[in-house]
Amino acid sequence: MHASADLIEKSLEAVAERVGDPAPLVYRRLFDGNPDLQALFLRDHDDSVKGQMFQQVIEAVLDFVGPRGFADGLFATEWVNHQGLGVPGDQFTRFFDVLVETFRDVLGADWSDDFDRAWRTVIDDIGAVIAQRTAPA
């Protein structure tokens, strides 16, 4: 289990208690900073694709800080899949920063330095897994 697991879970619970589903807030922030990415969701009229993708990210993060049953492979595979959709690698990993920025704003004064350090560590570790698994042989 990742050293940051408890803090990641607590932060997710706090965000959910505050706003319920944070996905719309995360995607609004993502698209505000990267309007070209919104075009990739033209057929997502009811936000179900974004919702499913968000859910998959959260489940993968929880697996990554927990049992590590599938997250490593999923993050690397989705990085490659998103490249095929025209999403640059740095934009793919930027999603995690947007996630944390949104959570920090949602929690305001309740966002702790410990939450921030835990998320930064996990994001760095996810980036390292992606780099290792997608490096040319």
Q: What is the pLDDT along the chain (137 residues), one digit of tens a residue?
A: 788 999 999 999 999 999 999 999 999 999 999 999 999 998 999 999 999 999 999 999 999 999 999 999 999 999 999 999 989 888 899 999 999 999 999 999 999 999 999 999 999 999 999 999 998 87
pLDDT digits (tens, 9 = 90+) for 18-44: 999 999 999 999 999 999 999 999 899
Task: Please tell me the pTM assigned to this model.
Answer: 0.94
Residue 109 backbone class (left: φ over 0; alpha: ψ -120 to 50; beta: rest): alpha
125, burial (CB in 10 Å: exposed 0-12, middle 13-18, buried 19+): middle
| Amino acid in position 110 | D
CA dihedral 42, 45, 47, 49 (to 10 degrees): -60
d(C-alpha 87, C-alpha 81), whole Å: 9
Domain ranges of the chain: 5-134
pLDDT digits (tens, 9 = 90+) for 43-58: 999 999 999 999 999 9
Candidates 134, 99, 136; CA nearest to 11 is: 99
Q: Domain 5-134 classified CATH 1.10.490.10?
A: yes
Candidates 75, 103, 71; CA nearest to 89 is: 75
d(C-alpha 29, C-alpha 25), whole Å: 6
Tell me which residue has tokens 């499913």.
Answer: 52
